Amino acid sequence: MYTGTLFILSAPSGAGKSSLINAYLKQQDQQLANISISHTTRSPRPGEKHGEHYYFVDHNEFELLIKQDAFIEYAKVFDHYYGTTKAAINQHLANGINVFLDIDWQGARQVRDKMPNAKSIFIIPPSLAELEKRLIKREQDSAEVIAKRMQKAKSEISHYNEYDYLIINDDFNYALNCLSAIIKAETLNTSKQILINKDILEQFIDQNKG
Ligand code: 5GP
């Protein structure tokens, strides 16, 4: 049966990961690609909606989900819990839809252990100075939070070599092309093509027999 591919995307905040995923998904049919919506204990930022950006839950609810073994992975990031439920991904994958996980390196490790066919992509900014510039420009965080994010960015980036693919997001369109190319290459993998183009391939096998 043809199943979708699970793509893990990680990056320090400000590297442009969400913009890249959103731009990619905009070009795609929802029947072919979808993003997993995580649960988090952090508060919504202005404009963020429950069920769209995250499922915003309190500590008790999150811990109940842990007890129920609902998560494929979860981790503490910036003092808050974040997790991906099995429900958020399994049905889509079973329906042949590619699923994107926007998660940190701790979650990526857990998913790789449980789903070895998942492909992981790390996105880094061209420099630390550029990252800081982007964090200041987006006017989302105080100077104190930006300093914390910059500190965290260095430790997050130190895990880049655990990933299958690396994209340096200097030019946005180039980075988007790189992301599309990785996803396209996975779809062209022979093991996938055998299932996608079964009829065409079977026709050749029949001809050879004849
Ligand atoms: P933010 O609070 O800025 O939305 O996300 C902070 C960090 O948490 C980002 O690096 C993001 O990738 C990560 N994150 C978001 N959802 C999940 C999740 O479900 N699991 C894990 N492990 N990390 C997540």
Ligand 1 site, CB within 6 A = 13, 38, 42, 73, 75, 77-78, 82-84, 102-104, 106-107
- pLDDT score, position 141: 82
What average pLDDT values come out for the chain (210 residues) when binned by 10 residues? 93 91 89 92 93 96 98 94 96 94 97 96 95 88 89 93 97 97 94 91 75
- pLDDT score, position 139: 82
Residue 56 lies in a domain: yes
Residue 95 lies in a domain: yes
Quote the number of domains for the chain. Answer: 1
Residue 125 lies in a domain: yes
- pLDDT score, position 28: 87
- Helix (H), strand (E) at residue 73: strand 71-77
Smallest CA separation from ligand 1 atom 24, residue: 103
CATH number, position 14: 3.40.50.300
Residue 1 lies in a domain: no
Residue 163 lies in a domain: yes
Residue 156 lies in a domain: yes
- Helix (H), strand (E) at residue 79: none
Residue 45 lies in a domain: yes
The domain of 106 spans 6-209
CA of 96 to the centre of ligand 1 (A): 25
